[in-house]
Structures are given as structure tokens and as C-alpha cells.
Structure 1
Amino acid sequence: MAHPSAPTVDTKSARTRRRIVDAAAHVLLRRGYAGTRLSDVAEIAEVQAPAIYYYFSSRDELIDEAVATGLDQARTLVAEALAEAPPDLSAVGRLEVAVAAHLNTLLTHSDHAAAAIRTVPQLPEDMRERHRQAQRDYLDVWRGLVDDARESGAVDPGIHPGTALMVIIGALNWTAEWWDPSRGSLDGVIAAAQRLVVRGLSSGGP
């Protein structure tokens, strides 16, 4: 059966679909692309496994939507945090805001962002290609922040901005692999990440 278009109103069908996508993100985060089974998704979503095919034509289509949701969530929440920052905040301050927003999204907001970040490298090439534009859009947000900090004189001119950007994102994303809330507060992780990012980029100027 072909799956219906995603419901645009909060109907029972829309809620069920969201529940299935949320469950898929939960399973993806813990078991990865290869280990994600529709039976596990169905159990968490509290639906019968065949019912998933009413909403999605295949396992990969469901995974696609879960990953797309996570990537969009990460970009949106970081953009919102930046939009809410004081207009006179320095370029370095805005970079610190983005670090905090990224880590909050990745580690506490929901499974979606962490699942997307972990899963994209595991996807088959055709699926990865479908998500590359969303990844580029998110990296563009960060590229702008690093460029602004560089133009303000806060970044060591000897550091290649593109390389710095990938090191920053890679380090922030890796926190999803090791952070354990029982072993320390997220505030401490954010403060350490902000300090390392700012000092790592620093030109040594005032």
C-alpha cells in the first residue's frame, strides 16, 4: 500500500505517524542503521509492525524521515538560539551561543538530532545524498559564525577556517558518544566546550 502524504493537522493519524518517527529515532540512536528493525520501532510506537507500511512504504523511507527530522531540528534550534541572542553580542559570544544550543539539542532535546548525526555516515550512498543539502545548510550557519569571528580579529589568521569548522563540529558531535548525565552536568560540558572552541580559535589578541 502506498503511504499517505504526511498529515498537516493534529489528527490521530498525524499523531501516530509522529510516534512512529520518534520511535525510529530512538532505535536508530541505540542500534544504528543496520540494527534498526521495524518490529522494534513498532513496539516502542505501540503499533502493529504491518501498520507502519500505511505511513511509510519501506524501512528506509521511515529512516529517511527520522534523519531528516533530526537534521532540521538541529539547524532550527541553533538558528533560534542565535536569533534570541542580544543584538550587540560579539562574534565570539555568538559562537558560544551556538555551541550551547548544539549540545543542548544533541544531548537533551530528543533522540532525533543525535540519531541523525550518528546515522548519516552509516547510510547507503543514495540515502546519504538525500541529506547532504540539509547538512550543508547547517554547516553554513557555523561557517558564518567562524567567518564573523575571524573578521573580528578573534581567530588566529593561521588557522584555516574550513578545517577549524570541521574540527569543531566533529568534537561537539562526539559528545553524544560519551556523555553520561550521571557523571556530570551538561552545563559543565557546555562550559568546557565553549572554552576549548574559543581558546582553540583564538588569535591571542584582546
Structure 2
Amino acid sequence: MTKGEQTRERIIAESAELFNRRGYAGASLSDIIERTGIQKGGIYRHFGSKDEIALEAYGYATGVVGARIRETMAERASASEKLLAYFDVYRDVAESPPFAGGCPLLNTAVESDDGHPALRDRARQSMANTLESMKRIIAEGIRSGEFRPDLDADALAGFALASMEGSIMMSKLEGSNRHIRTNRDSFAAYLERYCRRSSQT
């Protein structure tokens, strides 16, 4: 990697944390300059606008979280445990999230709903990708006989993601991990009671 490429990557990484903590509107170009120590001209040598930095930064943040989720899932054998990996990555979200500031998807979806169409599109694509990943896990569980053959994978994936993101929001707002942890356990119980294939069948 060249020195220029290293500088670009540093701008993206530092900006990703700023945007995820303060939001796109709350983090200025001056904040990026202060954080990186790179002057305005140096930043614009690599990026055409703050919007371009924000989109690259969002991709960086979701990439970090995605890698953590994949690493956690790689340690799990069953489909249920793989679904619970999404919750487990955020188990300590109040004080130690997988990326500084919390969930990039949740933060960006809330902030960019009306004010930044390009970021909203990225967040919507992230949501679609996460749902597809969850549906593949559920389909794997159906094929292996872990889950009921009539299980609605689309509905279960939506329920899982909504439960996780809602729990993250509540835990971050309260400054306590109790919501993500109790809802993780509730979702685990739901999988056990309503989704598992009966041993009688």
C-alpha cells in the first residue's frame, strides 16, 4: 500500500468513528481535520466532498462489524447459535460496541431517513444484506432438520433483525446492556419453543 493509500484509509477509518458517534450532520470537515491532522487540501486530494467521505466511512464501519459477526458465527455449529451471534456481538454495546458509537446501520438509518438519500440507500442495502444472510442461516437450519420445514424464513429474519436493532437502541439510550441481553435470551427461547423441529416428527 502506497503512502497515499495509507493516508486515504486513515481518513476513512477516523471519519467512520466520528460519523458513527456524532452523525453525519454533527461531524464537520473541521472535525475530520482535527482528528486526522490532515489539512483540508490533503483531504480533498483523496475525496471530492464530505459526502464521499461519509459513504466510504459507512462502508468501513459496516465492514468492521460484519467481520466481527462472521468471526463469531464461525465458532457456532447450529443455525440457532449463528442467528444469536448477531445479538452476541452487541452483548456489551453500552460500553464496548463492535464499532465506536454503536451499530452503524441503526445510526445511519435513523439520521439519514430524510436528510441524506445516498446514505439512506447504503443503510437500506445493508439491511437487505443482513436479512438475506439471516434467511440463508434459517434455510440451512430447515435443511439440516433443526428448524420446522414450514418455518417462514423471511418473517423470522425480520423479527430477528428488528429485535436486535431495537435492543441496541434501548441499551444505548439507557446506558445499560440489559435490553440487548434479555432480548437475546428471549429470542433464544422463541427459537427453541416455536422454530425447532419437534422430535416427534
Fold shared, TM-score > 0.5 on shorter chain: yes
| SS of corresponding position for 1:111 | coil
Where does the alignment leave 5 or more consecutive residues of structure 2 unmatched? none
TM-aligned CA deviation for residue 132 of structure 1: 4.8
TM-aligned CA deviation for residue 53 of structure 1: 0.7
Q: Distance in 2 between matches of 1:189 and 1:31?
A: 23
Aligned Cα RMSD in Å?
Answer: 3.5
Q: Which residue, out of 164, 167, 191, partners 2:159?
A: 167
Q: Distance in 1 between matches of 2:87 and 2:148?
A: 16
Q: Distance in 1 between matches of 2:34 and 2:139?
A: 46
TM-aligned CA deviation for residue 25 of structure 1: 1.8
| SS of corresponding position for 2:38 | coil
| SS of corresponding position for 2:103 | helix
TM-score (norm. length: structure 2) = 0.72
CA contact (8 A) 2:90 2:168 kept: no
Matched, 1:101 2:86: no
TM-aligned CA deviation for residue 191 of structure 1: 4.4
Cα offsets for 1:49-77 (capped at 9, x unmatched): 33211111111110000111122233332
Matched, 1:50 2:41: yes
Pairing of 1:1-206 with structure 2 (within 5 A): 9=1, 11-85=2-76, 89-101=77-89, 103=91, 108-111=97-100, 114-120=103-109, 122=112, 124-129=116-121, 132-150=124-142, 152=145, 154=147, 160-179=152-171, 184=176, 191-201=181-191, 202-203=193-194, 205=198
Q: Distance in 2 between matches of 1:90 and 1:81?
A: 12
Where does the alignment leave 5 or more consecutive residues of structure 1 unmatched? 1-8
TM-score (norm. length: structure 1) = 0.71
> How many equivalent residue pairs?
191
CA contact (8 A) 1:68 1:131 kept: no
